[in-house]
Amino acid sequence: MNDTIFEIPSDPKYIKRASAKLLGALKKLKLDKETLFDIRLCLEEAVINAIKYGNKLDERLPVVISYTLSKGKLEITVRDQGKGFDYKATPDPRSDANILKHGGRGIFLIEHLMDEVRYNDSGNEIKMIKFISGGKAHGSKR
């Protein structure tokens, strides 16, 4: 599969469209339901963060999504037009001090459900990697 790149406006109503596009492209792989759920959840969390925190719900600013599958590796990249954030300083939502606070849960989920997660230096792009082989994901952290 070659790189597929598309954009959505910074409006939450487009989130499901983005995940449907990606999951539709993955149908032929016959992945198990759990893997598809993880991929969808992580994509949607990354897109929500890009829309809300990166582009500040400004519909004129697109969220750029790309994905590619090669050699058993699915790579999904989500980029917003914002200034980025310090991904190293994201609080652990499980700690007592943060348990009732909003924020950080999406990043936490992404980092635990995907096999690899990388950010660009400015923090306005996330690359999520899931290793897939023969219709099953491997290297899962669960």
Banded model confidence at residue 99, pLDDT cuts 50, 70, 90: low
Residue with tokens 């980092």: 111
User: What is the tens place of the pLDDT at every residue in 75-94?
Assistant: 999 999 999 876 666 666 56
pLDDT given for residue 111 in this prediction: 93
| Residue of 24, 115, 6, 131 lying closest to 70 (CA atoms) | 131
What is the third-level CATH fold of 4-137? Answer: Heat Shock Protein 90 (3.30.565)
Mean pLDDT of the chain: 87
Q: How many CB atoms lie within 10 A of CB 94?
A: 10
pLDDT given for residue 77 in this prediction: 98
Instruction: State the pTM of this model.
Output: 0.85
For the chain, the domains span 4-137
User: What is the tens place of the pLDDT at every residue in 39-58?
Assistant: 999 999 999 999 999 999 99
Residue with tokens 């109503």: 13
Secondary structure of the chain in HEC code, one letter for each residue:
CCCEEEEEECCHHHHHHHHHHHHHHHHHHCCCHHHHHHHHHHHHHHHHHHHHHHCCCCCCCEEEEEEEEECCEEEEEEECCCCCCCHHHCCCCCCCCCCCCCCCHHHHHHHHHCCEEEECCCCCEEEEEEEEECCEECCCCC
Residue with tokens 């004129």: 60
